[in-house]
């Protein structure tokens, strides 16, 4: 079963082509260009390099959030459009669940940190399960202030492996707060990768190979929604 995965939830554009859970081709771009400029050219390059045709795909996997509101919409719109045209099932996974695969086989608590702006992180906590051979969620996805989240993690008394795009700007803070309990991987390993999404998507497909209606997962309201409710005192119409 051949499939494509798309992740545009952060500043990284991460794509992958995979077959039966094994990565065949992977694209990673972390530049100033927008996802709308990078996504389709990168996909075309991957298909050409792998000598694949879109009609060979069995389904499409997409990361549906949390993350950048604009990035989530671009990735979902692209995946949904392709799935509709090609008549393919669609599988959605969370960005935090996909990033947790960066800690495959590790003994530490695995904690993804994504920049949620407003001095918050999108985060969760995972532990690698030797029996299932995948990261299992320990604490649910949430938007949290750094001080509150680090204090909660510190109370667990474990060594902690951090991954995600918010690690670099907060690295000194994490060192000061956690000391020798802190484990940080090199940046090229801890940023979103197509290979991580492939694993998250493939595991979900194996559990339910039917596809689904994929909706964005924002965790919190967008700035536009907040401003609308502040101005008009109610929710926007769907």
Where are the CATH 3.30.420.40 domain residues in the chain?
2-95+192-227, 96-190
Note the pLDDT of residue 238: 44
Q: Mean pLDDT throughout 160-175? A: 97
- Residue 32 in this model has a pLDDT that exceeds 90: no
Q: Which residue has the higher pLDDT, 158 or 222?
A: 158
CATH number of 2-95+192-227: 3.30.420.40
CATH number of 96-190: 3.30.420.40
Average pLDDT over residues 199-209: 95
- Name residues whose C-beta falls within 8 Å of residue 20's C-beta, 6 or more positions apart in sequence: 1, 202
Q: What's the pLDDT score for residue 223?
A: 61
**Is the model's pLDDT at 112 over the cut of 70?**
yes
Q: What is the pLDDT of residue 210?
A: 87
- pLDDT at residue 148, as a whole number: 97
Q: How long, in residues, is the chain?
A: 238
Mean pLDDT score of the chain: 93
Residue with more model confidence, 190 or 236:
190
Q: Give the mean model confidence (pLDDT) for residues 117-121.
A: 93
E strands in the chain: 2-7, 13-19, 22-29, 59-63, 90-93, 109-115, 121-129, 134-144, 160-163, 182-184
pTM of the complete model: 0.92
In the numeric block, which tokens belong to residue 199?
């694993």
Residue 230: predicted pLDDT: 65
pLDDT tens by residue, 38-58: 999 999 999 999 999 999 999
């Amino acid at each position: 079963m051949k499939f494509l995965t798309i992740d545009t939830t952060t500043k990284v554009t991460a794509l992958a082509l995979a077959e039966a859970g094994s990565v065949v081709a992977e694209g990673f771009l972390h530049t100033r260009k927008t996802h709308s400029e990078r996504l389709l050219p990168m996909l075309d390059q991957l298909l050409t390099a792998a000598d694949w045709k879109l009609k060979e795909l069995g389904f499409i996997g997409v990361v549906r959030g949390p993350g950048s509101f604009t990035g989530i919409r671009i990735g979902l719109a692209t995946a949904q459009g392709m799935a509709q045209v090609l008549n393919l099932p669609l599988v959605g996974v969370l960005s935090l669940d996909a990033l947790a695969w960066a800690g495959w086989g590790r003994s530490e608590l695995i904690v993804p940190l994504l920049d949620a702006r407003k001095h918050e992180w999108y985060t969760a906590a995972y532990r690698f399960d030797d029996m299932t051979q995948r990261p299992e969620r320990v604490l649910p996805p949430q938007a949290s202030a750094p001080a509150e989240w680090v204090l909660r993690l510190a109370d667990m008394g474990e060594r902690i492996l951090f991954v995600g795009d918010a690690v670099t700007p907060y690295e000194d803070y994490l060192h000061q707060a956690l000391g020798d309990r802190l484990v940080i991987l090199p940046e090229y390993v801890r940023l979103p990768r197509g290979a991580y999404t492939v694993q998250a998507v493939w595991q979900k497909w194996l559990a339910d190979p039917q596809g689904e209606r994929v909706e964005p997962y924002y965790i919190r309201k967008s700035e536009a929604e907040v401003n609308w409710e502040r101005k008009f005192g109610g929710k926007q119409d769907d």
